[in-house]
Amino acid sequence: MRLLITLSAILFSAFVAIAQPKAVKDRLSSVAGVVTYSKGTVKANGTALFVEKNSELLASAALFAGADSAVVVDNSGKAYPVKYIVGVDDIFDCVKIRISPVKKVKPFILSSPKVAVGDELYMLAYGVKKNGKVEPVEVLAVDSVYSLAYYTLDKPMKEGYLSQPLLNSKGELVAVMQPAASGDTVKSYAVSAALSSSLVPSTRNYGKGFYDYAGMKIRTAMPDTKKEALSCMYMQAMMGDSLSWLNAIKDYMVAYPKSCEGYQSLAEYIAIFYRDMEQADKAWDKALSLAENKAEIYFGKAKVLNEIVLSGDSVSHSMLSFDNALEQIDKALSISRESLYINYKADMLYNMRQYDKAVLCYEELSATDMRGADVFAKISQCYVLQNDYDKAIAALDSAVACYGVNDKNVAPYILTRAVVKVSAEKYREAVLDLNRYEELMGGVTTADFYYMREQAELNCKMFQQALNDIETAIDLAPGNVLYYVEKGMLCYRVKLFDEGIRTMTKAAELAPEIAGTHYLLGMLYMQKGDNAKAKESLEKALSLGHADARVQLEKLEKQNP
């Protein structure tokens, strides 16, 4: 009896083996196990599928949630650390991971023909435990979810089935098993393996979080094109922390070892974070040896050296000086007179207070594609700092000419020209510019503007306009004592003594500790002939330390002995 049972089992096994296509069984080595870890402790284990490449695998995204490391165990039992997360689809619980290439693995070929209801597929269960089972399943339904085929199968879902491959009789990968639907103990589900093609590195994913992409604390892979990979590296330089930037540089250099940009970025990183200028210089030299456009390397080096010096946080090293940065930008310009390089050199010379040389660069820039009002404004500022106001005004005339007559964008340059004209003591011209600025802006709501214009109007004896503007300044900033004093002095000058007294009385109330307010109030009372009140205000000014108050009090004494 026992012999019959044994023979029956052998015959059954032989039948199953015959029923299973050989092409399916031959794919056992394309399936691997995956173990994930969190802080050195095993978090989860499951199945991973080599897809399209011998270094990329599909697995369940749930296995990697919160994991900070993982290994793939191949058919021979060899473990390969997971280097990168390539892509994630949370909806279909899939993650694509990347390891070092495995030589003796034939990745799954993705099936292109569609599967119909009633077709038979084969689930190949083979992972860490090496069970090697091939189980036929029938397709009960085929739906489309987010443009992907989604299969309902006749087999109840089990824990070990997650991420197992479904193959056709040719051994092609058709689908990947999905988590069980809540409460469903009869059927199981799988998503088309075509999903794999959409799980690719991208600049968007790379920038989401270098070490926390979709809750997976494993580094994300760079995109497969050089252009996108460069974008990722530069993005981490601008937005990431120092470690993210360094790892992005390393990833890029591994992918593109003969690209000058990797060495240039490495040089910048070493210079900025370590101030190891010898090592940084070696990386720059390597970048120069690889670069087709060497001017860009010199320009980048100039920027880094200049910015370190400007930061004031530099070690004592001969490379870290404005002169050395200037030397690098000159090397770039000797190769190419790029407007960007010219502008940077001009700004460097400006910061070095070499204004005459900066003007020459800005003037050269004004003949390039960067010609514009800002360039002429910089020329003007250089002349201002050399006290050459006529040339400064002429440069601002050129800036204003870059715009149409009624273009509101010209307003800041007209305001700047007015300020320069005040410095040049061309007060009437300054007033005209200030009036034009107010007109272009449709009114101004800052007290400082009206105070500035009042000062210019006062200097060209436009007293009524000056009085109007200082009153507007007071209305806009009623707590500013300076404006009251200015109005009081103007009233004194044009003999509006009653208005001046009202103004300075308010000023004295706002700032009773300021001697000047009481002194001017006393002087206004004297001009009106109210000597008693004049004496009271002047004595208050004297008590607060006003030097001229005693002289005026002595005058009062002589007038009223």
Residues 491 and 428 in one domain: no
pLDDT attached to residue 6: 35
Residues 410 and 453 in one domain: no
Between CA 347 and CA 530 the distance in angstroms is 60
Show which of 198, 215, 232 is a domain's final residue: 198
Show which of 183, 198, 213 is a domain's final residue: 198
CATH of the domain at 492: 1.25.40.10
Q: Give which of 270, 113, 273, 128 is closest to 193, Cα–Cα.
A: 113
Residue 190 within any structural domain of the chain: yes
* Beta-bridge partner residues of 180: none
Q: Give which of 132, 112, 137, 144 is closest to 122, Cα–Cα.
A: 137
Residue 478 within any structural domain of the chain: yes
* Each residue's pLDDT tens digit, 286-327: 999 999 999 999 999 999 999 999 988 767 788 899 999 999
Residue 171 within any structural domain of the chain: yes
pLDDT attached to residue 316: 76
Q: Give which of 12, 208, 218, 214 is closest to 94, Cα–Cα.
A: 214
Q: Mean pLDDT across the chain, nearest whole number? A: 89
The larger pLDDT score, comparing residue 462 to residue 216, is at: 462
* Each residue's pLDDT tens digit, 518-550: 999 999 999 999 999 999 999 999 999 998 999
Q: Does the pLDDT of residue 185 top 90, yes or no?
A: no
Residues 83 and 191 in one domain: yes
Residues 32 and 152 in one domain: yes
Q: Does the pLDDT of residue 454 top 80, yes or no?
A: yes
* Each residue's pLDDT tens digit, 1-60: 333 333 233 323 333 444 567 888 788 889 999 999 999 999 999 999 999 889 999 999
* Each residue's pLDDT tens digit, 220-257: 888 888 999 999 898 888 876 788 889 899 999 998 99
| CB-count exposure of residue 528 (10 Å: 0-12, 13-18, 19+) | middle
Between CA 361 and CA 375 the distance in angstroms is 10
SS3 520: helix
pLDDT attached to residue 3: 33
pLDDT attached to residue 133: 79
Q: How many domains does the chain fold into? A: 3
Angle formed at CA 268 by CA 264 and CA 272, multiple of 5 degrees = 175
Are 233 and 252 in contact by the 8 Å Cβ rule? The answer is yes
Residue 183 within any structural domain of the chain: yes
Residue 241 within any structural domain of the chain: no
Report the pLDDT averaged over residues 280-284. Answer: 97
Report the pLDDT averaged over residues 137-159. Answer: 91
Residue 465 within any structural domain of the chain: yes
Residues 352 and 498 in one domain: no
pLDDT attached to residue 314: 65
Q: Does the pLDDT of residue 126 top 70, yes or no?
A: no
pLDDT attached to residue 51: 93
Residue 330 within any structural domain of the chain: no
Angle formed at CA 116 by CA 113 and CA 117, multiple of 5 degrees = 160
pLDDT attached to residue 108: 93
pLDDT attached to residue 1: 37
Between CA 64 and CA 88 the distance in angstroms is 10
pLDDT attached to residue 486: 97
Residues 77 and 181 in one domain: yes
Q: Which two three-digit tokens encode residue 197?
A: 């093609």
Residues 357 and 436 in one domain: yes
Q: Is the alpha carbon torsion for 414, 417, 423, 427 positive or negative?
A: negative
Q: Does the pLDDT of residue 209 top 80, yes or no?
A: no
pLDDT attached to residue 18: 40
In this prediction, what percent of the chain has a pLDDT beyond 90? Answer: 71
The larger pLDDT score, comparing residue 361 to residue 202, is at: 361
Residues 391 and 479 in one domain: no
Residues 410 and 472 in one domain: no
Residues 44 and 169 in one domain: yes
pLDDT attached to residue 20: 63
Residues 536 and 470 in one domain: yes
Between CA 60 and CA 402 the distance in angstroms is 61
Show which of 443, 470, 504 is a domain's final residue: 443
pLDDT attached to residue 12: 31
Whole domain around residue 453: which residue ranges? 446-561
In this prediction, what percent of the chain has a pLDDT beyond 70? Answer: 93
Residue 205: half-sphere exposure toward Cβ, Cα within 13 Å: 23
CATH of the domain at 135: 2.40.10.120
Residue 209 within any structural domain of the chain: no
Residues 370 and 488 in one domain: no
* Each residue's pLDDT tens digit, 387-422: 999 999 999 999 999 998 889 999 999 999 999 999
Report the pLDDT averaged over residues 75-92. Answer: 91
What are the DSSP calls for 274-342, one per residue? Answer: I--HHHHHHHHHHHHHH-S-HHHHHHHHHHHHHHHHHHT---S-TTSSHHHHHHHHHHHHHH---HHHH
Separation of first and last alpha carbons in the chain: 149
Lowest average pLDDT, out of 73-82, 155-164, 212-221, 497-506, goes to 212-221
